[in-house]
A and B are shown apart, each in its own frame.
Chain A
Amino acid sequence: MTARFILPLIAGSTLLMASQAFGADDTTLERGAYLARAGDCVACHTTEDGKDFAGGLAIESPFGTIYSTNISPDKDHGIGNYTEAEFAAALRDGKRADGANLYPAMPYPSYAKLTDDDVHALYVYFMDGVEPVADSAPETDLSFPFNQRWGITAWNWLFADADTFTPNTSADPLIERGRYLVEGLGHCGSCHTPRGFAEQEKTLDDSDDSYLSGADLNDWWAPSLRGGDGGDGRGVEGWSAHEIAEYLKTGRNAHATVGGEMTSVVAHSTSHLTDTDLTGIALYLKSLSANPAGENATTPDQRRTASEKTAAHLTAAKDLSDGERLYLDNCSACHLNDGKGAERVFPAIDGNSLANADNPTGLIHTILAGATPPATPTIPAQLPMPGFGWRLSDEEVATLATFVRSAWGNDGGAVTAEQVGKVRDTLKPSPLNRAPDANGRLNHDDRDPK
C-alpha cells in the first residue's frame, strides 16, 4: 500500500473500510495507521485547516500556550530524521531526538505503556504512510519558569511511569486489550483522571481508585469512566458494555450524545476502532468499581419519582416558574418534557453528567453555543443543537440552567448570571448561534447570485 492511498483514508472517515478489513496478515504500516487512530495523534498534531500531522495546533495549558509539533516525516521540519529508537523515546519518555524534554501535553506518561511491536508499527506508519509536510510549526514560548524544559525531568521522575504494559495473563485477554488501549494509546486518563498539585494525573493506571474517576477540566466536566457497581447508578455506571462501545463507535447511545472535546476524540479516534477493541475497552471500564455514592446521593427510585413530577408539571403548563417556562420555550422541542430526549438522537438532560457536574461551565457553554455531534463512519448523521446565546440573556440562561440542574432527578447547583457572562465572553460566532435573519436568509444564502 502506498502513502498516496493511505492519506485520503486518514483525512476522511473511509478508514472504516480499512479497519473493517483489518486482519492478521495486514501490513505493519496499516497497523501503524490504526494505532495512530487509537492514539488520536491527529487531534493535537493537525490544525483545523492544516495538513495532517504538520503540527501547529495551539493547546492551552495551565502554563501557557503549547504548540504541537510537526510529526510528519519531513526531514527538516518533521521527524523524518528520527531513528526508531529516537521515535520510541519521544513516544514513551517524552524525549526529543536532541535530548530535550517534551512538554507533558504530549501524553508520553500514557504512551509509555506501548509495546515495542506497536511502537515499531507506528514508526513504520509515520515514516512511510504519512505525507511529509515542509512547514515548521510555531515554537512553544512559555514564560519562566515553564520555559525551562529541564524542569520536566524532575516532573517526569516524580510522575511519569516508564514501564511498558504487562498484561495480566490470568485476566480475560479482551479486557486486558481494553486496559492496554485505555491506559496506553487512548490516554483516557489525560482528561478523565483528576490531576494533582503539579498538573500530573493522580494515577496512570487502575492501581488507585482515582483512576478515571472524573475530572474538572475547568471548562468541561470529564465524567467518571468507572463503569462497575457500587456508585449512585449514574453515568457510565448505568451503561452496559455494549452501550459504552456504541458511544465510542458512533458518538451516541440510548443515554447520551458526545459533547465538548470528546466529540473530536470520537470523530478522529474511537469511531475508527474495531468492534473488538471497543468491546475490550468497554469491558475494561465496566471492570472498574464505580466511584462510591456520596452521603447525599439520591437513589434511582427517588430520581425516577422526581423525574415524573417535573414531566407532569411541564406538560400541564400551568403555574410555571421562569426556569420552567424557559425550558418549554427553548429546550422541550427536542429534549421533551420528560427531559429524556430521544434515544441516540437528542440526549437526555435528566441524569446528564454535564448538567449535574459541580462546575456548570460545560452546560452553560452548550446552551449558549450549541453543539454538533460528530459524523462517524457508521452514524454520519449530524443533528446539531442550536446555540441560544442570541436568544437568551445571561439572567435567562442562568435561570434556565438552574432549572435544568434541579429538574427531574438532577441535583446540580444553581448557576449565576455572572458565570454565564464569563462563558459568553468566550463565544465565537458560528452558524449555530446565529440569530435568525429577518429576511429569512439561511447560512449559505450570502453567496446567492444577485
Chain B
Amino acid sequence: MSQPDNTSRRAFLRNTFTLIPTVGLAGGVSLTAKAAEAPPNLSDYQPAFFKSDEWAFLLAACDRLIPGESEGKGPGALDTNVPIFIDRQMDSPYGHAERWYMQGPFVLDGSPDLGFQYPYTPRDVYQKGIALTQAYCQKQYGKRFEQLDAATRDQVLQALEANQVDFAALGETQKLEASEFFSSLLENTKEGYLADPIHGGNKHMASWKMLGFPGARASYRDWVDQHNVDYPLGPVSLTGERG
C-alpha cells in the first residue's frame, strides 16, 4: 500500500511552521492602507465598459431609480457613484456570467419560473436593453432617453417595469424582455447604492449612514442584548473608511 501523495499536507505543515516574518529580515513590498484611496467623482469617471451614449442612459436612469437630495431626504444613486459600480460590475465575474451555466441549447419558451434561459451575459443584457430602450424612446418621443424630462423618463421606466415595451417588436430575437432588463438595472442600482464602497458605489457609505447600518464592523457582542436602543456608531467600510 503506497502512501497517498502528501504534497498538500506538507504544504500545510510547512505553513504551520513558517516563522512569522521577522522585522529586520530583507524588506519587501510596502503595503499601504487602502482607506486612503478616495472614491472618484462621477463627473471625472471614464467608464470602462459602457460607451458614452450608453453611459448617458445609465446616468439618466439611475437618477430616476434612486433620485438625489433634490427630491427628498437621503442621497441618490448619482451622489453615491452607482453608475461607477455598475460599470465595474460589467467587468467582474458577474458581468461576464463567468460562473453561470451558459451552454446551449437555449430553450426560450419555458416557464419563467425555471429561471432565465436567454444566451446573454449581464454585459449583453445592458447593451441590448439600453439600445432597445433608446429605440423605443426615439419611436415614442423622438428623443433619446436622457433627453427626456424626469416625468417622461419615469414613464419609460414604468413601461419597462410593466413589460409594456415590446422588445421583440424592436428587433430582439432571443426573448430578452423589457421587464427583465428593467429588473437587472434596478437590482444593480440598489446593489451599488447599498453595497460596500469597495465595489465602487455607496460613496462614503452615504446610504449606510442614512439607514444606520454599521457596515463591516461586524462586532456586536456587547450590543446584542441592548434591546430597542439606537446604535450610536457610524459605519466602517471593508477598507477601513470611517463614517
A residues sitting closer than 8 Å to B (CB atoms) are 11-13, 48-49, 58, 60, 218-220, 259-261, 263-264, 267-268, 314-318, 320, 325, 328-330, 332-333, 336-337, 361, 365, 368-369, 371-372, 374-375, 382, 387-394, 396, 423-430, 433, 435-436, 438-439
Contacts and interface: CB of A to CB of B under 8 A. Distances in A.
Given A337-B222, A392-B35, A438-B92, A259 B30 contact: no
A261 B240 contact: no
Given A49-B14, A260-B22, A396-B33, 19 more contacts: A11-B13, A12-B13, A48-B14, A219-B23, A267-B17, A317-B232, A317-B233, A318-B232, A325-B233, A329-B217, A329-B240, A390-B239, A391-B240, A392-B35, A427-B21, A427-B30, A428-B28, A428-B29, A430-B21
B36 A393 contact: yes
Given A11-B13, A332-B219, A436-B238, A371 B33 contact: no
23 contacts: A12-B9, A48-B14, A49-B14, A60-B22, A263-B19, A268-B17, A314-B222, A317-B232, A328-B219, A329-B217, A329-B240, A336-B221, A336-B222, A374-B16, A390-B32, A390-B34, A392-B35, A393-B32, A394-B33, A396-B240, A424-B31, A426-B24, A435-B239
B45 to A, nearest CB: 16
Contacts of B190: none
A336 B21 CA distance: 27
A267 B16 contact: yes
Nearest to B240: A391
Contacts of B13: 11-13
A394 B31 CA distance: 11
Contact of B31 (A218, A316, A429): A429
B20 interface: yes
A393 B242 CA distance: 13
Nearest to A314: B222
A318 B20 CA distance: 37
Contacts of B9: 12
Contacts of B228: none
Interface in B190-240: 198-200, 217-219, 221-223, 231-233, 236, 238-240
Interface string B88-102: 100011000000000
B114 interface: no
Interface residues of B, number: 44
B240 A371 contact: no
B21 A369 contact: yes
Q: Which DSSP category, helix, strand, loop or mixed, fits chain A's interface? A: loop
Q: Which DSSP category, helix, strand, loop or mixed, fits chain B's interface? A: loop
Contact of A328 (B19, B29, B217): B217
B38 interface: no
Contacts of A332: 219
Contacts of A433: 31
Given A218-B24, A426-B24, A315 B16 contact: no
Contact of A424 (B24, B30, B34, B93): B30
B107 interface: no
B25 interface: yes
Interface in B19-63: 19-25, 27-36
Contacts of B24: 60, 218-219, 426
A333 B19 contact: no
A429 B29 contact: yes
B22 A393 contact: no
B111 interface: no
Which of B30, B92, B222, B239 is packed against the most chain A CB atoms within 10 Å?
A: B222
Contacts of A320: 233
Contacts of A394: 33
B99 to A, nearest CB: 9
